[in-house]
Amino acid sequence: MDYFVSKGFRNVFVADFAASPLKNIKNRIPDFPEAQLIQSDFFELEGKFDLILEQTFFCALSPELRKNYVSKMHSLLSDKGKLFGLLFDFPLTEEGPPFGGSKEEYLSLFSETFHIKTLETAHNSIQPRKARELFFIFLPK
């Protein structure tokens, strides 16, 4: 989020269930518009967005909620929107979060609702996640 703001993007929204991450943003970027910091349960979030960045939210959700996540993301994207980000690439276990997954699992989960533009090993991950993340770009069908 900081990157987008630093590059001049102004129509940036941040949603989080907890208040503390939103307060952290406001402390780092005092001019960030309050109306664009949304404290909400993801599944109750409303609106349409052109671009949604996924970063460590999907992996924190219980695997039972993954189909609901896919449906909700689809409903939040504008017709020409993009969902992009990183997904963990390690076996899904009951221990977590983070909960893992594989390219095959993600293809099965997302391909009914999204066009899979990109789903490949991330080449610029930080060292602890190197070779354990997939970069993706999904477009709504």
Task: Give, for 88, the enclosing helix (H) or strand (E).
Answer: strand 77-88
Segments making up each domain of the chain, as ranges: 1-40, 43-140
Question: In this predicted model, what pLDDT tens digit does every residue of 68-127 receive, in sequence order?
Answer: 999 999 999 999 999 999 999 999 888 889 999 999 999 999 999 999 999 999 999 999
- The type of residue at 94 is E
Residue 43 has pLDDT above 90, yes or no: yes
Give 48-77 pLDDT, tens digit per residue.
Answer: 999 999 999 999 999 999 999 999 999 999
Residue 82, beta-bridge partner list: 51
CATH number for the domain running over 43-140 = 3.40.50.150
CB–CB of 25/32 below 8 Å? yes
Q: Where are the alpha helices (DSSP H) in the chain?
A: 2-6, 19-28, 66-76, 103-110
How much is the pTM? 0.91
pLDDT of residue 93: 84
